[in-house]
């Protein structure tokens, strides 16, 4: 297939472009003039100039393609800005799906997030049938991804062959923007290591890329597929990070109320703290998921948290980011 890819130069997107090339597909990447393409420069792809927020460029780039993998989204916890996320994630999805509706038989793979599945105060495990019930209005990324899924559902009801995947928290080599691996750097350098009460599903970027392409090829339109590895607590993530780095320092739990208060104050007052304050609203909840549907229908597998974190630490060490 010729596959139109938005966000193809990003952390996950570049892994998807590699996977598409490996499977014999031709990626057509929507890129701005100023886009950093270092992650994909060595790969064989076609360039379509434009921006996901510009309907005309999306329509032009998609015109000669058989399918679309829509990944474009602001990266990093610091980018959890309501207006920016709405513009790129929600309006971008609307532009992609509106363009796809004009091409008979065109398949769209919308990359959402487990943040759009659901969260809980305790370790409840959710699957694709969960009803989104996240209340905190400050969780802008989760709400934007949920809105994009509503746009996709409307498009499916109008006849667009759209499949949704929901990657969990993605780690692995190539996270040059430190979107998630900054969490591991914090754990690897802090003394002591501070942790809150929460958890997430951890998944390797290459496993996500495999799942995305598999869903594009054979996922059922109108369906969601969770791409998640092992469910672990924040404390367990810290333990695995220390294990991978060979450090022996104390891990100190901090009550969620204090974590949230300190993080909010640090962001508002621009005060440095020994952790990323933007992560705290998410890290003080549980985002546990069940990926058995993707394993069963897409034939994908996911490595465990130890292997995923060790792979990321190896890359961070090689990149000189743990010195």
Verify whether residue 189 is a known catalytic residue.
no
- Say whether the peptide bond before residue 192 is cis (omega within 30 degrees of 0): yes
Report which of 221, 84, 102 is spatially closest to residue 152, judged by C-alpha positions.
221
Q: Identify the active-site residue in 33, 38, 135, 145.
A: 145
- Cα separation, 40 vs 284, in Å, equals 35
Pairing mode of beta strands 125-126, 193-195? unpaired
Ramachandran class of 24: left when φ > 0, alpha when ψ lies in -120 to 50, beta otherwise: left
- Both tokens of 68, joined, read 């679309």
In this structure, are residues 197 and 256 in contact, taking their beta carbons and an 8 Å threshold? Answer: yes
Sign of CA dihedral 33, 38, 39, 44: positive
> Which residues belong to the active site?
145
């Amino acid at each position: 297939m010729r596959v139109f890819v938005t966000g193809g130069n990003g952390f996950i997107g570049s892994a998807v472009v590699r996977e598409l090339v490996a499977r014999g597909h031709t990626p057509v990447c929507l890129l701005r003039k100023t886009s950093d393409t270092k992650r994909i420069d060595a790969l064989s792809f076609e360039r379509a100039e434009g921006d996901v927020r510009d309907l005309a460029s999306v329509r032009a780039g998609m015109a000669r393609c058989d399918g679309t993998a829509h990944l474009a989204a602001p990266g990093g916890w610091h980018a959890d800005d309501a207006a920016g996320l709405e513009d790129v994630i929600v309006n971008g999805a609307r532009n992609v799906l509106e363009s796809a509706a004009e091409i008979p038989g065109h398949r769209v793979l919308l990359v959402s997030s487990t943040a759009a599945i659901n969260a809980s105060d305790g370790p409840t495990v959710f699957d694709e049938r969960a009803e989104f019930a996240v209340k905190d209005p400050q969780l802008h990324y989760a709400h934007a991804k949920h809105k994009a899924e509503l746009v996709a559902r409307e498009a499916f009801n109008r006849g667009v062959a759209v499949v949704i995947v929901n990657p969990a928290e993605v780690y692995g080599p190539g996270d040059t923007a430190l979107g998630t691996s900054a969490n591991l750097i914090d754990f690897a350098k802090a003394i002591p290591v501070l942790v809150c009460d929460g958890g997430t599903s951890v998944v390797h970027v290459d496993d996500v890329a495999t799942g995305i392409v598999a869903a594009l090829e054979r996922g059922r339109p109108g369906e969601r597929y969770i791409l998640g590895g092992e469910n672990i607590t924040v404390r367990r993530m810290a333990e695995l990070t220390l294990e991978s780095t060979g450090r022996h320092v104390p891990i100190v739990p901090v009550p969620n109320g204090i974590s949230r208060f300190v993080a909010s104050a640090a962001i508002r007052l621009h005060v440095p703290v020994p952790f990323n304050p933007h992560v705290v609203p998410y890290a003080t909840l549980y985002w546990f998921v069940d990926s058995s549907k993707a394993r069963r229908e897409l034939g994908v597998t996911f490595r465990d948290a130890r292997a995923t974190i060790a792979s990321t630490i190896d890359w961070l060490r090689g990149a000189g980011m743990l010195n």
